[in-house]
Amino acid sequence: MDDKKDDFLSAHAFSNEKGAWGKFLLFFLPGFFGGTCLNDIIHGRLTWHSIGFFLGASAISSILYFITEHLAYRTKLFPKFKRRELFHILSFFLLFVLFAAVFVAIML
């Protein structure tokens, strides 16, 4: 059995391999749907607002995915950072949390 340390990252949606975008859609967008609409579906109060929020969050996360993919694999930003997959993951979640904080601040 092949014991690789980077198995998690090499098969991950944040790799530079062909099909990584599809993995991202397959694994993360259902999570956004569950997080935004599932509670409304369970309680029978699904509205267009819930669906719009899901579509908006999906669009923003897709845009952030492509921005961080560009930063990780197409630029030489942080040249001493050797594990580009990890850089892609960290930068995506950092930008997503930053966007979520700005969104909450605007909504309050």
What's the CA gap between 35 and 29, in Å, rounded? 10
What's the CA gap between 9 and 16, in Å, rounded? 10
How confident is the model at residue 98, as a pLDDT?
92
pLDDT tens-digit series, residues 49-104: 877 877 888 888 888 888 988 888 888 877 787 888 888 888 888 998 998 898 88
How confident is the model at residue 94, as a pLDDT?
92
